[in-house]
Every structure is written in structure tokens, then in C-alpha cells.
Structure 1
């Protein structure tokens, strides 16, 4: 009997694109699921920025230039019927559209492959992906997960009324301790720890340029992200209690596998824990390094990222190269995913 242990990874924002539903829609069951999910109407929010990589950042300096981003978003090869509603250049990266779209994409892919995927030993989600992970684990119906994602995004955007002018700045090339000290001196706080020497920080937009200059003077690299919400920092505190209430009012089913909590790497297996940790996550730093280490300590031998994108796969490969890690974004067919899963389970 194989002792292989599977980790399913649920991504955050950054990897979405107009064709992100195409592979899932080759499954009739997943296509039917997408058609009934309560996604916000197109045009409910709009931005003019290229991809933000707020939740699943590429290495600093590797964000696509606006021309490349616009070309990707307007690529004509994806049939309109295969796209999620509103997945266009005007609003696919807007917070209130992006969060429910990411959850929908992840759960649609799970619907497409779950009948041939070995039972996962563990699940982990990055920022909004943590909410999607509870859907994959069976605690939330897809409809409830998408509804909660929409509510989460709204509450985060509403924080701007209390703290107008927010921003995110990514920092690389400095220790986390040094980055945290520089951030704090400019009223910023670490939002997500993405590596031993890389993180994302959130704070007032008025101080962003000064922080970038201070990081550069200290020998690091800094890049202001085109994001107007300081996710996972104290600037989101007003969203915590109402999101906790929304979670409490939502039915939770039995979980098929535990979910790692982003803020501390704890293994979560019930609603009480989930309500506490998912709501606190809005205003507390995400320790993604801790989550990856917890997966390795749990004996995970292979991991599949449910997409869109492959940022979590890259980070896990860099952190724990002994874990055989792939993303559904690496495959052209569902059959290809199934064959890889079979091989990985036998290794």
C-alpha cells in the first residue's frame, strides 16, 4: 500500500486570467457548477491596473508590464462561453470580482478532478485560497464559499472608509526582521511572509515612496503593488468581526481533511476554529513559510495546486524540493492531471 500523502493547494489572487475556467469546463459537472455559482455581476468594480500579485506574488521585479498584461487579458482565443462572467481587462483584478472568481475557479477544478483524485491528507490555501480550501474539504458548499468570498472582499474594501489611502509594498533582499523594522518605521506592517528574505507589507499610501527609498538604501529591493487595500494588517480590523459573523451564520459540513491556518500553520478540523482563524486572517500576517513547513512535517509527499496559476507550486518547490509539486496550470487535459496523480502516488 502506498504511503504517499497528498496536499491540495488553493491559490490566492494574482494568477487569474480570462481562460482560467477552460480546463475545468471540459468536465460537464464542473461546467454545470460554474453556471450556477452566485458570482457578482460584471462591472461591479473596475480597475485599470495589470495583475497585482497581492496574494500570490511573483518575484520582485517580475510583474508583467502593462502591455503584456493587456495582451494576456484580451487574448481572443478563449471562447466567450468558456469564460467566467466578467473576466475581462476592466474588472478581473478588482478585489470584489477577483476574490469570488478565484474561489469559483478553484472549486470548479476540484469538481472536475475529485472523482479520480486520491483523498487529500491536508489542504492549504493562500489568503482567499484558505476560504476555497474549506470548500474543497467539504465544509462549505461551493455556493456558500463564493458568497463568503464576495462578502470578504466587500468588507476589505469598506475598510478604506476608516483608513483611506492604503497600499502594499513588496520587499526583497532583506531579512524578515529587517524588513519588519523598516516597515514599522513608516507605519507599515508585514502582510505576508513569502520567503526568508521576501515579504509583502501594507500601510498608508502616502508613506509608500519613503518606504521604498529606505529599503533601497538598506540594500534591499522594493516595489509598490497596484493595490489599494492593506490586506492582512491591522488596517483591516474593521472587517474581522462582521466576517466572523458571516462565517458563523453559514452551515459547515463535515471536513474530509484538515486545513492549515494561514496565520499560524495550525491544522483546523472544525467550524469553531475555522470561524476564528479565517476572520482573524483578514487583519493578521500570513505565515506562508510556516504553512509550507507544517505540510512537510506532516509527511506530505506530493502536492497539487488547483489553480489558477502556479505561484504556490513554485514556492513549495523552492522551500521543500523533496515534495513532488505540480499545478493544474501545468496540464492541458484533465486526463494528464490524473496520470500524474497516479504516478506521484506510487513514488
Structure 2
């Protein structure tokens, strides 16, 4: 039974997102580089409304994820899998060694720039819970929006322009669904970002990218990344294609992951994992007061799963 790391996307940023790693010697170089890149301390940006601006949000999420892993790495068993949700997939490659933390943070800034340049000014994302895939597809066609992320059999994120998202929200709620506009201002993982995918592929091609040292599953279809070209292909294609998080998690379970640790800001991935896979143990670093508590839980959870 193996440990899988879950690297979140945007949406969970908050003022205390760097609190657990402040002063940690292993995390410090990452935080320092993030400050140089963003020209302000990441903890200061996290405390401002700028934390939801795409150009700031993506580096902040990656910096928090990488700094947390740097602080935990020497204290935990090597993970069997690393999974990333949206920009978290880029952070996952930083964790897995496909790119250095510095390259990862630089790429997160470039990714955001590619997305902002291609995105319509009124783009965004809408979560919809409680409708079947068939109904969601009809809704997308009627409202001119697209599926961006599949989180579960009845849990989707839709991307599009403001008018389409507003229409989809009204229609979904009329059908009995729960909806939530997400604090993300680009229609990520939809055809609106086709130009961004092409541009980011070129950026990745010129970057110091290599085959990961740990197993990473691609967000668009759950396959194991096997080469440098595969890293580039999966990270660029997911900008304009839906992320199948539901399928990725199913693949992780099939590959033996039974203890799941979310290592970035927020706890949404751990919560979804507990709901979808109750036989596994899933927690987020942010559910613990200290990193020592995280380590104790992981060790105990792996021991419990080994006895099953």
C-alpha cells in the first residue's frame, strides 16, 4: 500500500497558506525564490486580494506546494504516486523532479501569462454538483460553455464566458443542482485556451524538463508520464482539454495508493478523495496544526493500511 501526494489547483489560497513552512530550513530557498519572482514575499501576497489574480495565484499555489513538500520530504516515505489538479499538475512535476523548484515556479508564471493572453476578458469557471454527465453535456451545448474538470460522476467544473456561465448556473439550479462560481478568471481546460496550450508547449520545450523520478499521472487521462516529451505534452494539452480528476483518482487507487496526502493550500482534494474512496485514508496538510502531526498520521495510516 503506497502513499500518494495530491497537489491542488487554484481556489484554496488564503492568508495563512505559508504558515506551516515559515522558518523551515528546507522550505526557505523556495520561498526566497518565489519572493524574487513575484517581487514581494509570498506570505504578503497571500494576505492580499492579489492571491486570486491568475498571475499571482499560480506561482503562490506552486510555491506553497513545493515548500510544503521540501519541509516534509526527509521525514516521510517516498511516495508511490504524485497527482496534480490543474496548475497542481505542474507542481506535481516539481515534486517528482521533472523540473527543479525554481524552474517550476518560473513555468507557473509563464503558464499564467499564456492563459491570460488567450483568455476572454470575461472568462471563468463554475462548479456544478448533482447532475449526470448527459445532462451536463446538454447544458454545455445549450449555454455555450464546456466541461473543464470532471470531479465525480455528478460533480463537474464548467468553463466559459460570463453570459454562458450565468445561463448555465440558472439552468443547473433550476434542475436542482448546487452551483458555485469559482475565484478563477480564465476558462481553464476548455477550447478557449487552445492558443495558450500551443504557447505553453513552446515554453516547456525550451525549459529544463526531464523524465520524472517519481510516478506522475497525467491530469487529462490518468496515464503514467514516461518521458520528457510526455511531460511537455500533458502539461500543455491540459490547458485546453478537460481534466479528468475522477479518472485520475481511480487510476491511483488501481495502482495501489491507499494513503493520500494533499500538500498544497486547501483541503478540497482530500475531502473529495474521502467521499469517493472511503476505504482509503486521505488528509490535507492544512488539517493539521504542525508538520509533525502530518508525519505521525502518514506513518500510522500506512501501518493501518498494511494490516488490511
Q: In the superposition, relative to structure 1, how do residues 19 and 206 fare at CA in structure 2: closer, same or farther (>3 Å)?
A: same
The answer to whether the Cα contact below 8 Å between 2:210 and 2:227 also exists between their aligned partners in 1 is no
Q: Of the candidates 37, 40, 53, which is equivalent to residue 39 of structure 1? A: 37
The equivalent of 1:180 in structure 2 is 137
Report Cα offsets for 1:264-305 as digits up to 9, x if no partner.
011113211110111000000010100110011001121111
Specify which of 101, 106, 121 is matched with residue 60 of structure 2: 101
**Residue 249 of structure 2 aligns with which residue?**
292
- Contact kept, 8 Å, 1:183 with 1:189, in 2: the verdict is yes
Range that drifts further, 216-225 or 114-123: 216-225
- Return 5+ residue gaps in structure 1 as ranges: 43-80
Flag structure 2 segments of 5+ consecutive residues without an equivalent. Answer: none
**Contact map agreement 1:125 1:132 (CA 8 A) in 2:** yes
8 A Cα contact 2:2 2:256, kept in partner: yes
Of 137, 143, 146, which aligns to 2:105?
146
Following superposition, the deviation at residue 152 of structure 1 comes to: 0.6
User: TM-score if structure 2 supplies the norm length?
Assistant: 0.93
SS of 1:268's partner is coil
User: Which residue of the partner structure matches residue 28 of structure 1?
Assistant: 25
| Cα root mean square deviation, aligned | 1.7
Q: Which has the higher helix share?
A: 2
User: d(CA) in 1 for partners of 2:21 and 2:125?
Assistant: 32
Cα distance in structure 2, aligned partners of 1:196 and 1:134: 27
Distance 1:32 1:164, change over 3 A: closer
1:7 is aligned, of 4, 7, 19, to 4
SS at match of 1:282: coil
1:157 aligns with 2:116: yes
1:289-324 deviation per Cα after TM superposition (whole angstroms, max 9, x unaligned): 001100110011211111211111001111111111
Match of 2:297 in 1: 340
How many aligned residue pairs are there?
303
Q: SS of the residue aligned with 1:185?
A: helix
Q: Residue 6 of structure 1 contacts residue 300 of structure 1 at CA under 8 Å; is this kept in 2?
A: yes
How far is the alpha carbon of 1:242 from its aligned partner?
A: 1.2
* TM-score, with structure 1 as normaliser: 0.83
Q: In the superposition, relative to structure 1, how do residues 226 and 300 fare at CA in structure 2: closer, same or farther (>3 Å)?
A: closer
Moved over 6 A (4+): none
Alignment of 1:60-139 (within 5 A): 84-139=43-98
